[in-house]
Structures are given as C-alpha cells and as structure tokens.
Amino acid sequence: MQQEQAQFRISKVVQSINPSLLLFLAALAAIIFANSPWQAQYFSFLNNPIKVNIGDYGLFEHHGRPMTLQEFVNDALMAIFFFVIGLEIKMELLIGQLSSIRKAMLPVVAAIGGMIIPVLVFYAFVHDGGMAMRGAAIPMATDIAFALAVLAAVGKHVPPCLKVFLMSLAVVDDIGGIIIIALFYSGQIHLTSLLIGLGLLVVTYILGRKGMDKAYIYYFIGFIVWTFFLHSGIHTTISGVLLALTIPSKCTVRLPQLKESLSGFVQDFNGQYEIEAERAQKLSHRQLVRLRLLEKKVERSISPLQFIEHDLSPVVSYIILPLFAFVNAGVTFGGVTMSDLLGLPIAIFCGLFMGKMLGISLFTYIPNKIGILKYPEGMTTRNLIAISIFGGIGFTVSLFIASLSYSPETAEGVNLLNQAKIGVFSGTIVSALVGFFALNFATRHLKK
C-alpha cells in the first residue's frame, strides 16, 4: 500500500511538470553547452558509441560500427516517438476529427496549405541548387505539444473549435512529414531486409486480428521490425508508424461484459478476508481466483492501441523528446555571419512564421468564402489567422527533418545544420510569441 502511495505521489509530481517546458529547458541547455568552454566535451558526448552486444551481435550497429549517442536518439528513440504519433493518427482516423470526410476535410485542406506554402517560401530564398535545398521540408512541420502548450497559456476563453482544428491539422502535418521522410530521406533500399520487416508487420496485424492483447509481444516484434528497417535503407521512424497501424483498436472484453462481471463479483464477494490480522491478510482460494479473473478482464477492457499509447506517451514526453532536444539543439553562434543568416536561416524562419500562417489561413478562408467548406462554430477569420500562426511552432519535427537533411559528416553539412537550427529556433519562438498575443487579441471579447 505504501509503495502504491509512493508511486502515486511520484506520478503526480511528474505530471505537474510541463513536458513542453522540459523540452525547452533541454534545448536551452544544449545551446549553452554548445557555446561554452565545455563545447568540445558536449560534442564528444554526442559522439560516444552505444555498445550493446548479444554474443558477437551488436544490437545498435549500423554500417559496421556502433551507433553514436546522437544516432541512437535520432534513429532508435525517435522511432518510438513516431510509433506513438502513429497510434494517435490511427485513433484520429478511427474515432477522431479525421474519422469522416465531412469532419476531416477542413483540417486536411488547411494542413495541405500549411505544407505547400512554407516550401514555396523556402524556395523563394534558397534556389541555387546546392545542398541547402535539401531542407525544403523543414518548415512544413508543426510541434503539436509545444503549440498546445502555448495555446493553453492563452486561457480557457479560447473557443474549443480552435484547439480541435489545430490538433487535427497537426495530425495531417505529421502524416505529410512521415510521407516526406519515407520518400526523400531514406537511403539505398536493401530489398531482403525490407521484405522481412514488412512480413513481420503482416504477422503483427494477423496477431491483432486473432485477439493478441499483450503489449510486450508488440514491443518485442516492434524491436525486430526496427532492426530490419535499420538495415533496409528505409528510415527507421517509418517502422514505428507502420507498426502503430497494425496495433488493434478493439477490446477483447467490452464494457457491458465488464460491468456484468463486476456485478457478479460484488454479489459473490462478501468483502471479508478469510483470515485477517494486523500484520497480514489472506484471501480464500475462491476470492483469489475471482480477483485474478477480474484483473484480467479489466486489462482486456482496454484496447492494445489505447493501452500502449497511454504507457508510452509519458516516456516520449518526459524522456525521449527532452533527450532529442539536448542532442540536436546544440547550435553554435560563433562564426555565423550576416550573409549566413540571410540564406538558409531566413528561409526556414519565413517558411515557419509566414508560410505556415499564409498557407493554413488562406487554404481555410478561400473554401469557406466560396462556400465549399464552412468554418466550425466559434471560428472567425480573425481567430483563424491567429491560430494559423501557431502552425509555425515547428521545433521537434523541424529539427528532426533538419538532422536528416544535412549530414554532419561533411563540413558543409555541419554548417548548414547549424544554420537550419537557427532558423527553426527563431521561427518557432516568433510564431509562439506572435501567436500568443494575436490569439489573445482576437478572442479578447470572450474573456469574462
């Protein structure tokens, strides 16, 4: 009992910490280390090899060598992040705002605009045909966790439809980002590894259809699938998304069945221990069997999809994403010239801040104006423009795409990645600040 109370208290303390704040602090720490006397130690830490061997087989080896810490975070831990994203996408497609064409149309169209226009804005600044053009997808992304944290800071007077709209278009953004990663950021395809990985995904789907509801089975198969995707040439994050789509969303025990079992349990269980003393209690054999059966039914009344998403979300929010920020946000400002800032950084900044706002708002306003689609109740053109600015809060996924766009193995790649980080940070921060004040202004009449 004391252990359960301690776990509950720890859980409450953890939940009281805003994960977006933790993400921001991790990024800030990375920037401080990257521009401090400990710069060399910081980058050396990121290049430490991760060695986990089973006999002669290295679990995290790629291209004949162990992954560095940075590669481990980007290729292994971020696969878990995209696995959770995939679970959320599947839930949205089944019962959320994307579950019907009527519900999905407006955020889908808005998200398409929020992906196309930022890329066009990027190309307006970067069009010389060099390596810098590989980063055109960087301003496409929206960091939904960060954006919702800023939205919550605006206050409870914000119309609920704006939160739903922002969440839905961010989900479509994620789908677009996943497609971009699969098409443009994968390497040379090794067909055998890919086919084995896809075959295992088919097996996972069949297991789900047959009623498999043990999370550890899906975790184990998921690790094996990830291993084959690592050697297939397809980016490993895609394995996380595809695995999520195979996880069953139906419960093996429905709530009416559970309710019936609970009623029978209450009737049969007299509420007394067979033997009870101050230092110990003992159930009868019948009570023990009934409780264990009830425990299993309660577990099976939660779908594997929801159970796994609930289990992994805190791990992603409080461990994986802050760690990702710490190993990827280390931008160095020494040696950055004004001409550098007017190239790639300004392209990403304008893509996030201006491109997202224009793309989302125009692709929503025009269909509404000509009568093809309608604003949801509570949305106006003024608060639409304000909420569109929130789309420019790219951060996590933008940094991730930047790390895929520019290889740190060459001096040019290192320089471009550093510039890209400056663009992501500036675009995200300005979008967050301007979005906060714009939405406050647009909804000021709703304050009580």
Q: What is the pLDDT of residue 282?
A: 74
Range with lowest mean pLDDT among 78-87, 159-168, 255-264, 300-309? 255-264
Sequence-ordered list of residues with C-beta below 8 angstroms from that of 309, at least 6 positions apart, any chain: 84, 87, 88, 91
Using pLDDT thresholds of 50, 70 and 90, give the confidence band for residue 204.
very high
Using pLDDT thresholds of 50, 70 and 90, give the confidence band for residue 1.
very low
Average pLDDT of the chain to the nearest whole number? 84
Q: CB 9: neighbour CB atoms within 10 A?
A: 10
Whether residue 264 has pLDDT greater than 50: yes
Q: What is the DSSP string of 62-78?
A: ETTEEPBHHHHIIIIIH
Average pLDDT over residues 67-81: 90
Whether residue 2 has pLDDT greater than 60: no
Q: What is the pLDDT of residue 16?
A: 62
Question: What does the alpha-carbon distance between residue 135 and residue 123 come to, in Å, rounded to a whole number?
Answer: 10
**pLDDT tens per residue, range 91-145:** 888 887 777 777 788 889 999 999 999 999 999 998 887 888 889 999 998 888 7
Question: What does the alpha-carbon distance between residue 198 and residue 229 come to, in Å, rounded to a whole number?
Answer: 9
Range with lowest mean pLDDT among 1-5, 19-23, 91-95? 1-5
Using pLDDT thresholds of 50, 70 and 90, give the confidence band for residue 363.
very high
Domain locations along the chain: 18-251+302-446, 253-269+284-301
Written as six digits, the tokens of 18 are: 């805003």
Using pLDDT thresholds of 50, 70 and 90, give the confidence band for residue 431.
very high
Q: What is the pLDDT of residue 268?
A: 60
Whether residue 183 has pLDDT greater than 90: no
Average pLDDT over residues 181-206: 88
Written as six digits, the tokens of 323 are: 């760690």
Whether residue 50 has pLDDT greater than 70: yes
Q: What is the DSSP string of 93-135?
A: HHHSTTSSHHHHHHHHHHHHHHHHHHHHHHHHH--SSSGGGGG
CATH architecture of the region 18-251+302-446: Up-down Bundle (1.20)
The pLDDT > 70 percentage for the chain reads 91
First to last CA, the chain: 44
